[in-house]
Amino acid sequence: MEIRLNSVLPNSTGTLTGVASNRDAGTSFKETLQSAFERINQMQLNSANLARQFAAGETDDLVRVITASEEASVALQLAVQVRNKVVEAYQEIMRMQV
């Protein structure tokens, strides 16, 4: 059975079996995760810096501080959930009998 990507993903071409051959053209899974974790880390650092500035009286923009804090929190929660799903998938694969 062959799945056409353009029926599943908009603006994509080829088939699902053709994705592995185009691996060098895009970014790897490792690079994607690494950049996502770097962005989450930057969001956490930005949130902490804004909170420090607010506590020191250097800024009075409470909405910006809370928004940055919540964005960092949601991003971290998403990363934890993705990690949990990856670990769960790995464990499921390891339980498969060959």
pLDDT tens for 29-53 read: 889 989 999 999 999 999 999 999 9
pLDDT tens for 50-86 read: 999 999 999 899 999 999 999 999 999 999 999 999 9
Task: Please tell me whether residue 15 adopts helix, strand or coil conformation.
Answer: strand
The residue written with tokens 């080829």 in the block is 14
Percent of the chain with pLDDT over 90: 63
For residue 93, name the pLDDT band (cuts at 50, 70, 90): very high
Report the DSSP beta bridge partners of residue 4: 15
Q: What are phi and psi of 84, to 5 degrees?
A: -60, -40
Name residues whose C-beta falls within 8 Å of residue 22's C-beta, 6 or more positions apart in sequence. Answer: 14
| Cβ(4)–Cβ(15) below 8 Å | yes
pLDDT at 50: 96
pTM beyond 0.85, yes or no:
no
